[in-house]
Amino acid sequence: MSSLSSSTHCRSYSSSACPASSSCNYGHHRTAISSISLKQLLPRKVSVQSNTKARPNVVPIKDGAVAATVASIENETPSNKLGDGLLSITLPEEFKDTASFDINKDKSTVSITVVGASGDLAKKKIFPALFALYYEDCLPEHFTIFGYARSKMTDAELRNMISRTLTCRIDKRENCDEKMDQFLNRCFYHSGQYDSQNNFAELDKKLKEHEGGRISNRLFYLSIPPNIFTAAVRCASLSASSANGWTRVIVEKPFGRDSESSAALTDALKQYLEEDQIFRIDHYLGKELVENLSVLRFSNLIFEPLWSRQYIRSVQLIFSEDFGTEGRGGYFDNYGIIRDIMQNHLLQILALFAMETPVSLDAEDIRNEKVKVLRSMRPLQLEDVIIGQYKSHTKGGVSYPGYTDDKTVPKDSLTPTFAAAALFIDNARWDGVPFLMKAGKALHNKRAEIRVQFRHVPGNLYNRNFGTDLDQATNELVIRVQPDEAIYLKINNKVPGLGMRLDRSNLNLLYAARYSKEIPDAYERLLLDAVEGERRLFIRSDELDAAWALFTPVLKELEEKAIIPEYYPYGSRGPVGAHYLAARHNVRWCDLGLEQ
């Protein structure tokens, strides 16, 4: 493998082949310490030096991708700035020790408080992601994890709860149990009401204890229902903010349910927080292949010339789940698939896909371009939307329930569990190119992918080989986000043999075949970014506004007119209406072709 690599401080270890040997670990901690703690306090050079020896496999190319402008203002991560030259400096052992000693005095610490620690997301995603980061030596040396929730629980009970979901991902490497114990020792629990400043003040006290006078950086992860977002933010901000470091809050969808409620939420949050303290997660942006989308586009010559209406006929963003709400429809029924998947995940991917080349890879530059795309888009029209809802289905003796069979869903619910939509970007690059989205629950497979359908070859010399349907012969670029991450380009090719028979085959890259490492969960990436102050993958409030502006009118119309969804059997390919929607725009869903 030739790697043209760069690395963002400790990340380089996780993404490269650093063995988890103890010396390496030691080095990692140091790396992390310096990157978090030194900030403005120590000359950069010192931090670099303290790192130098411990970064055996950092390829000496300055990181271009992750260094963010904002980060450099507010929270410099010094190792981001490691230059080629500096890396070659190796200090004598004694001097290095001195340096470390100096650092110890001024160490900073990060406290991560998971608000809503007993919830499902916290158990299944957040704590495991935090452990994985710890396991990969990506967390600073001094960190504390606090669970906060209403239930009464001891630290030991929390640890017990967390430990059940922890696994050593990637492979069973040495020190796994040991690492797990070390991690759990950093986990604590505080029970309190979400709207009680007093309870948060108690938390603050405990946090201070653990911080031990170091510079305190605090990250709150709000894993709670949206109606108590504001209350929790108020209390955390007023009673548990960091006095000398930073305080950041991660919030997850739903960010309201339309333009108004979203704006109200933003206003409320901004009473207590600055924009740059709010980290709105869209975990799809943390997916490996979504990250890779920009790399593909901007670091290869061969794609960018094709990236426009001149060559692309349609773009399809497809999300499907092979299960229904399964007794958890209460939350979903209030939102529906459009709000749950389309308005955020798929729209975000679309914006990344369609944006103009940003000035740099800095968070603000990228988000500026994304907002431009969203603002160039036509608000979604009712006639460009198909909604569906799954009904029960019996197959092979097994009965699958309908959506309204879910006890947590009203019997007469019209909430869509499936939607297909055609969106348009009215700018010079994309005028007239339909961006089709499709998202659904209880379909026949589980999949998320981006499909770029190219136009047919004008004046194709081989027309006869394809018959009249030129669609059969178009190229297609597929980025499969999950499962089985892959990129492939469908090309026409001659079937080997005498004669001239053409055939569609794939130029492909299967991640599983090329990269043996397990791909980190999206939450790991995003948590790490939040700790580092990297905002590239988080949603800015103007992006959120623009996104809602596209969907709010149609959502209102659907609800006001009480549009009845098209029913489709559990486990099917979804309502056929989706095909008619595609046909109206002269395209074809390529995920349902025979070739799939």
Residue appearing with tokens 């260094």: 67
Q: Under a CB-based contact definition with an 8 Å cutoff, are residues 23 and 31 in contact? A: no
Minimum gap (Å) between residue 516 Cβ and other proteins: 10
Nearer to other proteins, 486 or 558 (CB): 486
- Nearer to other proteins by Cβ, of 305 and 397: the residue is 305
Beta-sheet strands, E only, within 307-432: 312-320, 385-391, 393-395, 398-400, 418-423
Of 441 and 451, which has the nearer Cβ to other proteins? 451
**How near is the Cβ of 81 to other proteins at its closest, in Å?**
12
In whole angstroms, give the CA distance from residue 38 to residue 19: 26
Least distance (Å) between residue 10 CB and other proteins: 8
d(Cα 281, Cα 275) in Å, to the nearest integer?
Answer: 14
Q: How far apart are CA 12 and CA 55, in angstroms?
A: 9
Cα 536 to its chain centre, rounded Å, is 10
> 187 CB contacts (<8 Å, ≥6 apart)?
127, 145, 146, 147, 155, 158, 159, 162
Q: CB 36 → other proteins: shortest distance, Å?
A: 16
- The amino acid at 5: S
**Which residue in this structure is represented by tokens 């349902």?**
592
The strand ranges marked E within 330-382 are none
* Smallest distance, other proteins to C-beta of residue 4, A: 5
In the complex with other proteins, the residue whose CB is nearer, 349 or 473, is 473
Which of 88, 74, 78 is CA-nearest to residue 32?
78
To other proteins, the closest distance from the beta carbon of 398 in angstroms equals 30
Tokens 């906060």 identify what position?
Answer: 148
Q: For residue 309, give the DSSP letter.
A: T
d(CA 438, CA 419): 6
CB atoms within 10 A of CB 459: 6
Per the structure block, which two tokens stand in for 90?
């190796």
Min dist CB 468 to other proteins, Å, is 8
Length of the chain: 596
Residue closer to other proteins (CB basis): 324 or 358: 358
Q: Which is nearer to other proteins, 66 or 347 (CB)?
A: 66
Compute the least distance from the CB of residue 219 to other proteins, in Å: 17
CB of 352 to other proteins, least distance (A): 13
- Closest to other proteins by CB, 70 vs 306, is 306
Rounded CA-CA distance 7/83 in Å is: 11
Q: How far is the CB of 481 from other proteins (least distance, A)?
A: 12
Q: What is the DSSP annotation of 477-509?
A: EEEEEESS-EEEEEEEEEPSSSS--EEEEEEEE
Q: Which 3 state secondary structure label does DSSP give 296?
A: helix
Nearer to other proteins, 502 or 563 (CB): 502
Q: What is the rounded CA–CA span in Å between residue 564 and residue 468?
A: 37
Residue pair 56/517 in contact by the 8 Å Cβ criterion: no
Q: Would you give the distance in Å from CA 573 to the centre of its chain? A: 26
Distance (Å, rounded) from C-alpha 165 to C-alpha 159? 10
Question: What is 426-471 written as a DSSP string?
Answer: -STTTTT--EEEEEESSBS--EEEEEEEEPPPTT-TTHHHHTT-GG
Cβ proximity to other proteins: between 296 and 414 the closer is 296
Distance CA(303)–CA(370), nearest Å, equals: 19
Give the active site residue among 9, 142, 345, 585. 345
Name the phi and psi angles at 62, rounded to 5.
-65, 140
Rounded to whole angstroms, how far apart are CA atoms 284 and 247?
24
Is the sign of the CA dihedral 545, 550, 555, 560 positive or negative?
A: positive
- Closest CB 302 distance from other proteins, rounded Å: 5
- Residues 6 or more apart whose Cβ sits within 8 Å of residue 230: 265, 268, 269
Catalytic-residue membership of 345: yes
Which residue in 352, 350, 373, 349 sits closest to 363, CA to CA? 352
Q: Between residues 175 and 308, which has the closer beta carbon with respect to other proteins? A: 308
User: Which one, 199 or 453, has the nearer CB to other proteins?
Assistant: 453
Q: Catalytic residue positions? A: 345
